[in-house]
Structure 1
């Protein structure tokens, strides 16, 4: 279990990353290429990987084992500024940090001899790492970057919309079941027991296309706190033939309304996307709100609606108790 402890001021400093982080996506996509329990959603992407990407994969794999620790210097904060900014930060990692983190990596992993040269900051080996990262990005990630960006932008829009209307705590609650917010602690399933204290620095939440099961955090708590989590899939449009599995329980229209509300919207938007009148949309939202499935808030002349964690779990077919 991972427990992230918030103190005074941390909520106001918590935000969603603006763009996909190319170096986090590099590490996590490489994990997916080596994953035995493969996610079928990524099958088409795997088929597109080319031999050049496979060569880079072999070079990078020792530094990024699919289970357990991998060095923090591979995912620097500068990566949020773009791939080349991130590469520059990786190649400029201080020698002390290289040695410390690669020593941690070697404690549980058999590493090839060149990793020792990397730990010493040997220039040719550092440049070799940079070439492998660039080759991997060009051959494996760039062909899929439009899909990656679309998924991350959709997730960010959803999260920041909830945060802007209902506040940061409401946004954190809406991460369920991936994350669990019990003020002042954010919890996530994690391979080891770990507590992270933010100490007023806030938290950067990074949506990721290739993060699939459990969120990922940096090990070094002196670095800026980051939590990488699976970006939610795009919100489907309301069904033209509302024969969803929830229709027998809620009714066809109300099931469609619940599905539309996977993305926060106003009453008029809800009416347009669900194909009903504004008054009908308002009435259905009220019923769902009384059932604890929808949260509504007024801003000036508009009422905004979003799913509660209970509503999200019901729609996803997950346990609601």
Structure 2
């Protein structure tokens, strides 16, 4: 259990990541390759990833470099998931290259003590070796993560919409209380079902914490090992058997949109732009809840909407494709070229 201790200043400085963290998605996807747990939730990804890596000639590097550096165990080096990656993959890779030599050696030595490090790992202190690693991480991202970016972004946007509703209704503490089932909020302490399964206390000391939803994290949140680093908790999204797998085709509505979809579905697409429950769609479209659910389902099957269960309700949000369709229709209706 990880216990994250908050003061009043920490509540004010708690943030929710605005986008997927590419290096944490690399790390957690590599963890998925080391276990059968949760395989049903990533079925299509599992079916294609090995073949794609084989086609790109990356199997040997995966086995001898990436999996040993990112063990699904008690520890892997913090410098491999720098905070810079909040600004995108390239910024994160630059953060790896900028890591001081002394810190790299310290974290590699800790990896060796905890789970065992490959014999070549200390050479990561040399910039030339890290440049090779960065090239490999970029290639792995392009093969294993980039083809699924749309669905990952859509699911994280849906998570952000759900958390923002809780923030508006109950403030930061309400948002923290909504992070069940992997986390439990008791005033001033966030109890986290932590991987690895060890007891640990993290005192924020006025720094706040960055909450990072991760598509490939499974069941147990993780955090950085070094408490002196900027605090972050990486936590899993909820996957349901009925949800489409990764890589699945993913005011008044514009007149062109109504002609294309019909009034009820055009209203549905317009309504979910800011996130909407099935009941809210029904009220906006003037239809029964069962009809609203069918309309949302049709848009979901077309790759325009994503749906996640949020407590007793289902929250619908636009996918990037749905947002593009709605934006294009609204632009056209305003006569903007």
Structure 2 equivalent of residue 183 of structure 1: 187
Distance 1:267 1:36 in 2: 37
Partner of 1:67: 73
Whether contact under 8 Å (1:4, 1:196) holds in the other structure is: yes
SS of alignment partner, residue 219 of structure 2: coil
- The alpha-carbon deviation at position 308 of structure 1 amounts to 8.8
Task: Identify the residue that residue 169 of structure 1 maps to in structure 2.
Answer: 173
Q: Does 1:76 align with 2:76?
A: no
Alpha-carbon distance change, 198 to 273 in structure 1, aligned in 2, over 3 angstroms = farther
Partner of 1:300: none
1:203 aligns with 2:209: yes
Write out aligned runs for 1:97-136 (5 A). 97-118=103-124, 121-136=125-140
CA distance in 1, matches of 2:286, 2:61: 47
Q: Which residue of 2 aligns with 1:37?
A: 37
Distance 2:236 2:136 in 1: 25
8 Å CA contact 1:174, 1:308 repeated in 2 = no
Compute the displacement of 1:97 (Å): 0.9
In structure 1, the partner of 2:91 is 85
Give distance in 2, aligned partners of 1:269 and 1:162: 19
1:211 Cα deviation from its structure 2 partner: 0.7
Mapped to 1, the partners of 2:38 and 2:190 lie a distance apart of: 28
Compared CA separation, residues 273 and 72, structure 1 to 2 (3 A): farther
Aligned to 1:54: 59
When the two structures are aligned, how many residues end up with a matched partner?
257
The DSSP-based 3-state class of the residue aligned with 1:181 is strand
The CA RMSD measured in Å over matched residues stands at 2.7
- Do the aligned residues in 1 keep the contact of 2:5 with 2:202 (CA within 8 Å)? yes
CA deviation profile, 1:170-195 (whole Å, cap 9, x unmatched):
11111122110000100012210000
The alpha carbon displacement at 1:264 in A equals 6.0
Secondary structure at the residue paired with 2:9? coil
Shift of 1:268: 5.1
Alignment of 1:1-321 (within 5 A): 1-49=1-49, 50=52, 51=54, 52=56, 53-58=58-63, 59-118=65-124, 121-190=125-194, 191-233=197-239, 269=281, 271-272=283-284, 275-276=287-288, 311=312
- Return the TM-score normalized by structure 2: 0.70
Q: 1:70 & 1:126 partners in 2: Cα distance?
A: 16
- What is the TM-score of this pair, normalised by structure 1? 0.73
Aligned residues of 1:26 and 1:137 also touching (Cα < 8 A)? yes
Kept in 2: contact 1:151–1:233 (CA 8 A): no
